[in-house]
Chain A
Amino acid sequence: DTGVSQNPRHKITKRGQNVTFRCDPISEHNRLYWYRQTLGQGPEFLTYFQNEAQLEKSRLLSDRFSAERPKGSFSTLEIQRTEQGDSAMYLCASSLGSLADGYTFGSGTRLTVV
């Protein structure tokens, strides 16, 4: 296990299409997070899972966004009917227990909506 893995690394899609990203956290980490980062900004929180339960969602996560973590291991983030404003880097992170030690981030998936 070499860390948090995200696929794909890059995704270019046409406006209106649906896209799905995958995150594989560090295997023993029970907490998983999704963040979005747009150009010139820091990462912004989207949602958080503890095991398979989605415990927190940001208001940034509109109805077009849905995230799952069905077996408490990998997670998927789906965006339906993509818009140009969805273009961003989507970051996944994981942690074990307390956040006092911070997260381990993945390399991210860069989405470009044309």
Chain B
Amino acid sequence: AQRVTQPEKLLSVFKGAPVELKCNYSYSGSPELFWYVQYSRQRLQLLLRHISRESIKGFTADLNKGETSFHLKKPFAQEEDSAMYYCALREANTGNQFYFGTGTSLTVIP
């Protein structure tokens, strides 16, 4: 069963414009949600996690349990934000694996 859905494979925005990468999940237990990012020719790395409620590189994501969403947002996109973004889910406290979405490729146009 698809647990994490990222509906947009490709997303292009102009520099300085707001950006939102969508993530919806389907999970009956208690999930923890994460965003991972992969810049060109670099390894996959953790961007942020919902439990820490932090802002990394200007990005934020709020877990909306009612809408089962964890959208990633940034008010002003920068060229260096161009990358592949993956939303991921694990079962809180006990899960040993992540369930990844199919990813969204973000291009920020100068």
* Interface contact A99-B46, CB-CB below 8 Å: no
* Interface contact A107-B102, CB-CB below 8 Å: no
Question: How distant is the Cα of A108 from the Cα of B102 in the complex, in angstroms?
Answer: 17
Tell me whether A21 is interfacial, beta carbon within 8 Å. Answer: no
Chain A residue nearest in CB terms to B84: A42
Say which residue of A41, A42, A101, A105 sits within 8 Å of B43 (CB atoms). A105
* Interface contact B44-A105, CB-CB below 8 Å: yes
* Interface contact B51-A107, CB-CB below 8 Å: no
How many residues on the B side are at the interface (Cβ–Cβ under 8 A)?
Answer: 23
Tell me whether A70 is interfacial, beta carbon within 8 Å. Answer: no
Question: Which residues 50-74 of A have a CB within 8 angstroms of B?
Answer: 55-56, 58
Tell me whether B95 is interfacial, beta carbon within 8 Å. Answer: yes
Tell me whether A91 is interfacial, beta carbon within 8 Å. Answer: yes
* Interface contact B45-A99, CB-CB below 8 Å: no
Question: How distant is the Cα of A3 from the Cα of B88 in the complex, in angstroms?
Answer: 21
* Interface contact B51-A91, CB-CB below 8 Å: no
Tell me whether B100 is interfacial, beta carbon within 8 Å. Answer: yes
Tell me whether A8 is interfacial, beta carbon within 8 Å. Answer: no
Question: How distant is the Cα of A57 from the Cα of B86 in the complex, in angstroms?
Answer: 22
Q: Point out the residues of chain A lying under 8 angstroms from B99, CB to CB.
A: 45
Tell me whether A106 is interfacial, beta carbon within 8 Å. Answer: yes
Q: List the interface of chain A (C-beta within 8 A of B).
A: 3-4, 31, 33, 40-45, 48, 55-56, 58, 91, 99-108
